[in-house]
Amino acid sequence: NVSRVKVGPATETADLRRRVKEDTHPNKVDLGAGAYRTDEGKPWVLPMVKTVEVQMAADMTLNHEYLPVAGLPAFRTAASALILGKDNPAILENRLEGIQVQGGTGGVRLAAEFLKRNFGSDIVYVSKPTWGNHKTVFIHAGFSQIKEYRYWDAKNLGVDFEGLKEDLQKAQEGACVILHAVAHNPTGNDPTMDQWSQIADIIGARKLFPLFDCAYQGFAGGDLEADAQVVRYFVKRGFELFIAQSFSKNFGLYNERVGNLCIVTKTPDVIPQIRSQMEIIARTMWSTTSHHGARVVATILGNPAYFEEWKAQVATMANRIKEMRQMMFNKLRQKKVPGSWNHILQQIGMFSFTGLTPDQSRVMVEKHHVYMLLNGRINMAGLTTKNVDYVVDAIQDAISS
């Protein structure tokens, strides 16, 4: 009986998106959505992506046949090589499989469904805080316990490493643990490599299963290799793991839903069974994925000249964000807004965890039309040379309100 259906809880980001659209205030600023913007505040179609799309449109040999359930082979191979390096032993020894999925979200969901059906555990550990959809995806996949490990030290505005260690040391054996491969969302703070090695020790000792969420390769400092180092380190240490790669941000292909779920095992003999189970689940969720975005990514990653051009365009995005960090920091200092604000410079990737409280964040949204999450997260790419003064003035007012 449809009359019994109730409205569910709203998603904060979707709600913000709607409000930004409806807001007619001339100075409104959207720092809520997790998408790159130019200094004119506009979406950016990467020129390299556009070039390939134009070629594809003119190519009369292409068609719209179904892809295999596991996706486009050239894309899966290229995507896995991008995160692990093409000479990675896991690739050379055939102990890796890539399954094309619907963006990063699809990868997380497929991983969760697979773990629920094929592993004895239905417990997952997520960082506190984490990307809003991690918990809900695992709940909807049927996990009975979504547990949090401490991650953010709100007082010192950095990673609460002692808390993190303590919580993971107590984690239930066999559970899944979600780790952000690079540029943690929402805090913009990653552990150091030394800390990662200690995290790996704990994960090994507690026999946890790592799922790396990799939505921002290239966004930390514009260096694709550096941004892959944590995942590569875990693979080198011999872990079996999943990597949910998203190409939404680094190719600007948000609505094309391009993702790769990469599975690394200790031995090659288990790969056919894993692929088979993955395909069974994928078949029931989306049957097969779409071709367009995966073809664009595969074409660019497979052509050395295109690859170089794309890399430079990823660096352009990362560098504009870094410039915005510096500009915002300088203005906060110039205007003597209370606080050290060093964390704005230290944080990496698309987001900054400003340290604004929910009440202060509410003032930003309600009074100043600066849209941001109530946990204090802002999208640095939403800042421009034109709106940064307005945003900093709004922060000054929110702090003193």
Peptide bond into 304 cis (omega under 30): no
Counting contacts by CB under 6 A, is residue 191 touching ligand PMP?
no
User: What x-and-dash track marks residues 121-140 binding ligand PMP by CB under 6 A?
Assistant: ----------x---------
CA distance 35 to 317: 11
Residue 249 a catalytic site member? yes
Cβ–Cβ under 8 Å, residues 364 and 372: yes
Residue 21 a catalytic site member? no
Output the smallest distance, CB 399 to ligand PMP, in A. Answer: 27
Measured from the CB atom, the residue of 378 and 395 that comes closer to ligand PMP is: 378
Token pair for 310: 């794309």
Residue 310 a catalytic site member? no
Measured from the CB atom, the residue of 210 and 259 that comes closer to ligand PMP is: 259
Determine the angle formed by the axes of helices 193-205 and 229-236, rounding to 10 degrees: 40
**Spatial CB neighbours of 315, under 8 Å, sequence gap ≥ 6:** 218, 222, 223
**Spatial CB neighbours of 182, under 8 Å, sequence gap ≥ 6:** 190, 214, 216, 217, 219, 220, 227, 228, 230, 348, 349
Looking at 122, 167, 190, 213, which residue is catalytic?
213
Q: Which stretch binds ligand PMP (CB under 6 A): 97-105, 149-157, 165-173, 285-293?
A: 97-105
- Report the site for ligand PMP in 224-263 (rule: CB under 6 A): 246, 248, 259
Cβ–Cβ under 8 Å, residues 106 and 69: no
Interface pick for ligand PMP out of 97, 213, 227, 256 (rule CB under 6 A): 213
CA distance 200 to 332: 38
Counting contacts by CB under 6 A, is residue 103 touching ligand PMP?
yes
Q: Which stretch binds ligand PMP (CB under 6 A): 43-51, 99-107, 283-291, 387-395?
A: 99-107
Output the smallest distance, CB 273 to ligand PMP, in A. Answer: 27
Residues making contact with ligand PMP (CB under 6 A): 34, 103-105, 131, 180, 185, 213, 215, 246, 248, 259
